[in-house]
Amino acid sequence: MTAKKNLVVIGNGMVGHKFLDEIIAKGAIANWNVTTFCEESRVAYDRVNLSGYFSGKTAADLSLVEPGLYQDNGIKIYIGDKAVSIDRQQKIVYSANGVKVSYDKVVLATGSYPFVPPIKGKESTGTFVYRTIEDLEAMSAYAKNCQTGVVIGGGLLGLECANALKNMGLQTHVVEFAPRLMPMQVDDLGGNVLRNKIEEIGVSVHTNKSTTEIVSPDGKVTKMTFADGSELATDMIVFSAGIRPRDEIARECGIEVGNRGGIVINEYCQTSDPDIYAIGECALHQNRIYGLVAPGYTMASVVANVFSNITSTFDGADMSTKLKLLGVDVASFGDAFAKTSGAKEIAITDAISGVYKKLVVNEDGSRLLGGILVGDASSYGTLLQFVQNNIALPPHPEDLLIPPREGKTAVGMGVESLPDTAQICSCNNVSKGQICSAIVENNFTDIASVKKCTKAGTGCGGCVPLVTDLLKSEMKKAGIEVKNHLCEHFAYSRQEIYHLVRSQKIITFEELLAKHGQGKGCEICKPAVASILASTWNDYILDRSHVGLQDTNDAYLANIQKDGTYSVIPRVPGGELTPDKLIVLGEVAKDFGLYTKITGGQRIDLLGARVDQLPHIWRRLIDAGFESGHAYGKALRTIKSCVGSTWCRFGVQDSTTLAIDLELRYRGLRSPHKLKSAVSGCTRECAEAQSKDFGVIATEKGWNLYVCGNGGMKPQHAILLAEDIDKERLIKYLDRFLMFYIRTANRLERTATWFNKLEGGIDYLKQVIIHDSLGIGEELEKEMQHLVNTYECEWKATIEDPEKLKRFRHFVNSDSTDPSLIQVEERGQKRPAYEHEKSLMGIS
């Protein structure tokens, strides 16, 4: 048996770990004793999504290393220890902590360091770099005593850093030396659109600015001065002005480095020493440093192939990228700046919506060379495939810049036209063929399963739309329905119809059908549109223009039961009920012969009411101070509560009062599905808040907000959205969450199901709701406030309108009651007769 050789991997960042992952997957690990040095205090983590640390992600969430992976595969790792030198003659690696490891081969994955310009005062207290989790923790701690923060650098990392400062609650500025933001990815027109979009969300942008000094009279940053004589006051500054390769260990041991830095490598990622390789941002290939993770991953794969006796080469990398920066889509691909001889440009700018799109085509317009997308990068995946696979353009390439209407065929090609070799995920080098094979072999029908199996879409995420298209294509081939049309009358999803209704101020079904539909409507689209109209404009649902859209329950403002009678469930906010109201409920139940039961949501259900009795019952209830409980609608049902600190010896907050306040705020709120909630006064959780669509649990410091839980057929615990918040912030977040759900959920989709499909999960939801990453927070709050301000009890409005009362009868041509409504007595109350009981009575 051949003795194992020694392999040392210096650096345990994303690329260093990718190499280890590759040799494990390829089986090459069996031939090597592997040692790796990790300079940081934690193993490899997702540096691309570093700003997620401020939206609730922990270091464990960001970790790329599965627990036990290194130990199970015999990899020895020195955490918090930096490799400092290589003795190439003796073939020994030395570390800062005195560790000596002999080697046969070395892989350098030392990465890069942030470039700090030589500015006077750059060492002042309050200056930071943006690179590691420790950097973020230091920034976050310092920012607690700051009002203003500045990022020097308006590139990719600079805008990511600006997002982090904004999430800390700082007034944020970006200072860029170039005349535009992201000068390496977008042109002047794209830069202008990007700047406007970013400034709209409250981040100030300063371009053409050369910083001359960081002023710190007491050692702490107070302002910065510029070459043009202007100044900018600030409490803290973060440098994000580019990166430099960490090549010092190679330089000191005599390995060839570039004139401007970087470890020189050949096509096998081999350095000038054939036993030492370099990968990632420390490597210089054909005089170029690649500052994206995807090229680093490709290098890692090439070297892993060398160790697995597989021949492959690194021939450069596509620097195309798609990102969402401060809530703004930005993409750049191929020859974005038309450097190719004879290249021509096609561009559109929509200053109103903040969208810029540019295509760079060859001289005769037959091939796409590159492009830039700002504000809407939804077509990035498809356009990139045109470039990478040299696919012929349609006769009018400009049509590719205009998104097709839902239900219409897109101009150009579909994923079916791509060759199996087409690279879909550049981060993990996953081809179309690999993705399609995984879908077919495993019968996948959801994107999460595809991502987990193939790793496609788990890097930067830019390829997820294309992966989704491949999934839909394979599902279609298998005969599985994938349309998201609401029904045959509307070639739009529920979300799109909601947008049409609001943006075009459509107030009736007939108007919507005339403008965007066909036919007369059906039992699917009518109730769905009725719900959208109600949750947008909050009109009385039994108005002449709306009443015909309602299903049976909404049409009679009551839940129909199995025997044709109806239930009456008045609202009891927080479960709190006075003796007088309790007496009225008893009297009504007794006078109308109704079955009474305590519901699971702390209300009293009065069952067995005939349709003609409903107005009479509700008149008495409303006179007693009750109002509709909306148990019949896809709306807020109840907000359950415990007695909280008012009575309970364990309670830390007044949960009953908060439950009442929230229920009175959101009563009548129409949504894609019913909503249930609860407020618990302590962590003993007597109100079961974590099984609700939204739940609140008291803490000693305030309230914890949980969302998207569910009871029923598929129980699901709610997820923590925010903790230790005061009532004002709680209501702000709830307003945003509920309206965002109403906007984006599918028809009859509970919050739990909606959440499970949400790309990005709780991290994305926190970004939208807490950090307002989409810039729609205030808009969502205003929409909710409109619904709160225009609320009216539907039953009160009904009993005050004689015309509406005429509909509450069994027969259109008679005042007689329905003779088939037969009840029998059981345990002192009346219930519907069973079929065998009706047979004994001679009733069929």
For residue 58, what are the contacts with CB-CB under 8 A and spacing of at least 6?
none
Pick from 182, 145, 179, 178: nearest CA to 162: 182
Distance (Å, whole) CA 208 – CA 187: 15
Q: Check residue 483 and give its pLDDT.
A: 63
**Structure tokens given for 400:** 């590719």
Q: Map residue 675 onto helix, strand or coil.
A: strand
Q: Check residue 409 and give its pLDDT.
A: 42
Distance (Å, whole) CA 617 – CA 637: 20
Please report, in range form, the residues annotated as the binding site for [4Fe-4S] cluster: 642, 648, 682, 686
Distance of CA 755 to the CA centre of its chain: 9
**Max Cα–Cα distance, the chain, nearest Å:** 106
Contact between 832 and 822 under an 8 Å Cβ cutoff? The reply is: yes
In the DSSP assignment, the letter for residue 206 is: E
Element (H, E) at 585: helix 579-592
Task: Give me the average pLDDT of each 10-residue run along the chain (844 residues).
Answer: 86 95 92 94 84 68 86 93 96 96 96 92 93 88 93 89 86 94 90 90 92 93 95 95 93 95 96 96 94 90 93 86 78 91 91 87 92 87 84 82 50 67 80 90 83 80 76 81 74 87 90 90 87 92 86 84 85 90 93 89 89 92 93 91 89 93 95 94 91 94 94 78 95 96 89 83 90 91 94 92 84 66 80 73 63
Q: Map residue 837 onto helix, strand or coil.
A: helix
Please report, in range form, the residues annotated as the binding site for siroheme: 686
Please report, in range form, the residues annotated as the binding site: 642, 648, 682, 686
Beta bridge partners of 334: 370
Distance (Å, whole) CA 550 – CA 541: 8
Q: Which of 262-268's residues contact partners 24+ apart within 8 Å by CB, and which partners?
A: 262/289, 263/108, 265/299, 265/314, 267/313, 267/314, 267/315, 268/302, 268/303, 268/306, 268/313, 268/314
**Structure tokens given for 486:** 């609401």
pTM of the shown model: 0.56
| Residues 38-63: tens digit of each pLDDT | 999 889 988 877 766 665 567 777 88
Contact between 425 and 322 under an 8 Å Cβ cutoff? The reply is: no
| Residues 197-228: tens digit of each pLDDT | 889 888 999 999 999 999 999 999 999 999 99
Q: Check residue 216 and give its pLDDT.
A: 93
CA torsion angle 699 700 703 706 (round to 10) = -20
Contact between 175 and 206 under an 8 Å Cβ cutoff? The reply is: yes
Encoded amino acid at 42, one letter: R
Distance (Å, whole) CA 168 – CA 704: 19
Distance (Å, whole) CA 519 – CA 513: 8
Structural domains in the chain, CATH included, are: 5-113+245-307 (3.50.50.60), 127-241 (3.50.50.60), 494-550 (no CATH), 634-792 (3.30.413.10)
